[in-house]
Amino acid sequence: MHIAGPPEGLKAPSGGSNSSVIEARSGEGSQKLRTKRRAVHGVLLLDKPLGMSSNDALQKAKWLLGAEKAGHTGTLDPLATGVLPLCFGAATKFSQLQLDADKTYEAVARLGIKTSTGDAEGEPIAIRPVDVTPASLSALVKQFTGALRQIPPMYSALKKDGRALYQYARAGIELEREARDITVYSLSLALSQDEAGFAIALGVACSKGTYIRTLAEDIGEALGCGAHLSVLRRIETGGFSAAQCISLSELEALAPAQRLARLLPVAVLLGQHQAVTLDNENAGRFLSGMRRRGHGPDASRVAVYAEQEQALLGTAHIKAGELIPGRLLSPVEIRQMSEQADSWCHGPSPAPLPEEPTLFEINEKVKNE
């Protein structure tokens, strides 16, 4: 799939610096235009295109938004498409929550052919006859549902001694890998046949760390014919669905302000957290890392907000009646998020009343005490 770049004659950077360098060529010379990146906070739900790595998709979106800081929430292979939440600015502090989230996939496995990579990008290494019926396929659903042990593929981003496994695989080195615990919550298998042969359509809801490519290969082995993955699409992760996503081409077609409007607030990453709201005095102390008392029964996941503007402060847990800080936003990030929301939705916000100190003033006061 072709992904359009910047306007004709301009070269988009791959990302990584604090400013975007755009090179415009004209005749024999060239001119470099440098645009300063800005603080951008939020979550972009991207529908990753076919044939692009997750990091390349991230860098393109980062460039389109002019963002200083960004990260994705789990790698999708170039072969795969679908839901890839991208975190910008303060949202990167909570991206691990999406890495740990359950996921749902739709996939197609081609039967009778094993490949070197387990998917359509590899070379065929074994070809076997296919003798499969809907009944024999249905019998495998229970075998591959529930708590399972799965050996990760060599062609994966997992690391050994600081190097990704796929780097060893490309060098022709096979390493021993430990099986990992995964859970397949639900599995559907449907047999089909076309001019290319037999295939299985899979629907998989699973835990983090599940390799659908390996699952397809294991099912192929159980059928006695082998298989490789030919299509993979992530349709849901951590409560975000493909229907909520935007493609890179759609994002690029928007005006800059419209692109920023596609960002969801940082707090969407904390939807499974218990919410606690603090008054301004306690909010300032909490932001300084101080525990606060009197916030109910024990809870492992808490999202903490300030009463003033319902500003997100960070995460915490509650133990023995104490609210114990976890990952905290900085006062600068909180102010930028508030200004960002106001500028996109309501225009400039009025200054707080003089008699009511702002959250940032309280935080500074606490630090100086």
DSSP state of 121: T
Please check whether residue 335 lies inside any domain of the structure: yes
Please check whether residue 5 lies inside any domain of the structure: no
Q: What band does 258 get if pLDDT is binned at 50, 70 and 90?
A: very high
Alpha carbon distances (Å) from 277 to 143, 182, 286, 291, 308: 46, 36, 11, 14, 9
pLDDT of 30:
43
Q: What band does 340 get if pLDDT is binned at 50, 70 and 90?
A: confident
* Last-in-domain residue among 261, 296, 318: 261
> Do residues 75 and 20 both lie within one domain?
yes
pLDDT of 24:
36
> Do residues 134 and 233 both lie within one domain?
yes
**How far, in Å, CA of 185 to CA of 104, rounded?**
10
> Do residues 190 and 111 both lie within one domain?
yes
305-320 pLDDT, tens digit per residue, is: 999 888 999 999 999 9
pLDDT of 19:
43
pLDDT of 364:
55
> Do residues 15 and 96 both lie within one domain?
yes
> Do residues 221 and 209 both lie within one domain?
yes
Cβ atoms of 299 and 274 within 8 Å: the answer is yes
For the cut 70, the answer to whether the pLDDT of residue 224 exceeds it is yes
pLDDT of 368:
57
> Do residues 333 and 353 both lie within one domain?
yes
Average pLDDT over residues 302-307: 95
pLDDT of 9:
34
Q: What percent of the chain has pLDDT over 70?
A: 83
Q: What band does 362 get if pLDDT is binned at 50, 70 and 90?
A: low
For the cut 60, the answer to whether the pLDDT of residue 365 exceeds it is no
For the cut 80, the answer to whether the pLDDT of residue 251 exceeds it is yes
- Number of structural domains (the chain) is 3
> Do residues 94 and 194 both lie within one domain?
no
Cβ atoms of 270 and 357 within 8 Å: the answer is no
At 94 the three-state DSSP class reads: helix
Please check whether residue 186 lies inside any domain of the structure: yes
pLDDT of 367:
57
Residues 6+ apart with CB under 8 A from 99: 73, 74, 208
Please check whether residue 248 lies inside any domain of the structure: yes
97-150 pLDDT, tens digit per residue, is: 888 899 999 999 999 999 999 999 999 999 999 999 999 999 999 999 999 999
Q: What band does 191 get if pLDDT is binned at 50, 70 and 90?
A: very high
**How far, in Å, CA of 13 to CA of 18, rounded?**
11
> Do residues 57 and 107 both lie within one domain?
no
Please check whether residue 363 lies inside any domain of the structure: yes
Please check whether residue 333 lies inside any domain of the structure: yes
CATH label of the domain that carries residue 139: 3.30.2350.10
> Do residues 223 and 254 both lie within one domain?
no
Beta strand 197-206 with 180-194 is antiparallel
**How far, in Å, CA of 348 to CA of 359, rounded?**
18
Residue among 77, 100, 102, 298 flagged as catalytic = 77
Residues 6+ apart with CB under 8 A from 92: 69, 70, 71
> Do residues 244 and 231 both lie within one domain?
no
> Do residues 249 and 302 both lie within one domain?
no
CATH label of the domain that carries residue 307: 2.30.130.10
Please check whether residue 1 lies inside any domain of the structure: no
**How far, in Å, CA of 72 to CA of 58, rounded?**
7
> Do residues 215 and 113 both lie within one domain?
yes
pLDDT of 296:
84
Please check whether residue 2 lies inside any domain of the structure: no
Q: Is 77 a residue of the active site?
A: yes
Average pLDDT over residues 329-339: 93
pLDDT of 35:
54
For the cut 50, the answer to whether the pLDDT of residue 48 exceeds it is yes
Average pLDDT over residues 75-82: 92
Average pLDDT over residues 253-268: 95
Enclosing domain of residue 38: 10-100+240-261
